[in-house]
Chain A
Amino acid sequence: QKEVEQNSGPLSVPEGAIASLNCTYSDRGSQSFFWYRQYSGKSPELIMSIYSNGDKEDGRFTAQLNKASQYVSLLIRDSQPSDSATYLCAVKNPGGYNKLIFGAGTRLAVHP
């Protein structure tokens, strides 16, 4: 079983719609969760982090965490073509050093 799983996509949504990106993880002890956005040919950039169960909102982005289900998601409201990118879910390994385990990413395509 992969440690962090994401649907590779592509997830295609029309402009203005809500894009929902999902991620599951295998280690129940994980405490910190991150969403990175990576444009083609560019490096990942952090867009959201979440540490507690529930929702965390930042502008058009909402991260949702459910530790009991080992599930974290990212909602993008009012999707724009500029949101088209690969979204990487990352989970920090419990204990030890700051080691992030990444999923393979979900490619999002927002079409006008």
Chain B
Amino acid sequence: ETGVTQTPRHLVMGMTNKKSLKCEQHLGHNAMYWYKQSAKKPLELMFVYSLEERVENNSVPSRFSPECPNSSHLFLHLHTLQPEDSALYLCASSQDPSGSSGNTIYFGEGSWLTVV
């Protein structure tokens, strides 16, 4: 139990579907992140939210739409995805978004997404 909970753990969706991934952190952190992990590739940072404000969007296609209604919850809305978007999507949180030393990022268990 890392204090960061993701649902669903597994999701299969068609290319025309709309679905959402949900993340909740119970650590009192101020920053939340979405990472994508594809096979044989490094973790890719997708979005960073600091105090509910998006502070980084790493050139992610618009078919991925994040939402952060409060500092404890983060969503990733998915629509018209492609098969190459199939990956493990990891949510993470940290205490201080400003990047001071010692600021550890904690990951959730991830959501395995398969686009068919």
Min CB distance, B52 to chain A, in Å?
14
Min CB distance, A29 to chain B, in Å?
12
B interface footprint on A34-51 (CB within 8 Å = 1, 0 otherwise): 101000001111100101
Min CB distance, A93 to chain B, in Å?
8
Interface size class of A (residues with CB under 8 A): 20 to 34
In-complex Cβ contact of B99 among A8, A34, A36, A96 (8 A):
A96
Query: Chain A residue with minimal CB distance to B41?
Result: A104
B interface footprint on A84-109 (CB within 8 Å = 1, 0 otherwise): 00001010110111111111110000
Interface residues of A in 32-70 (CB under 8 A from B): 32, 34, 36, 42-46, 49, 51
Q: Does A31 contact B (CB under 8 A)?
A: yes
B108 touches A43 (CB 8 A): yes
Q: Does B109 contact A (CB under 8 A)?
A: yes
Residue of A32, A34, A99, A105 most packed against chain B (CB within 10 A): A99
B107 touches A44 (CB 8 A): yes
A43 touches B2 (CB 8 A): yes
Interface residues of B, Cβ cutoff 8 Å to A: 2, 31, 40-43, 45, 48, 50, 55-56, 90, 94, 96-99, 101-110
Interface residues of A, Cβ cutoff 8 Å to B: 4, 8, 31-32, 34, 36, 42-46, 49, 51, 88, 90, 92-93, 95-105
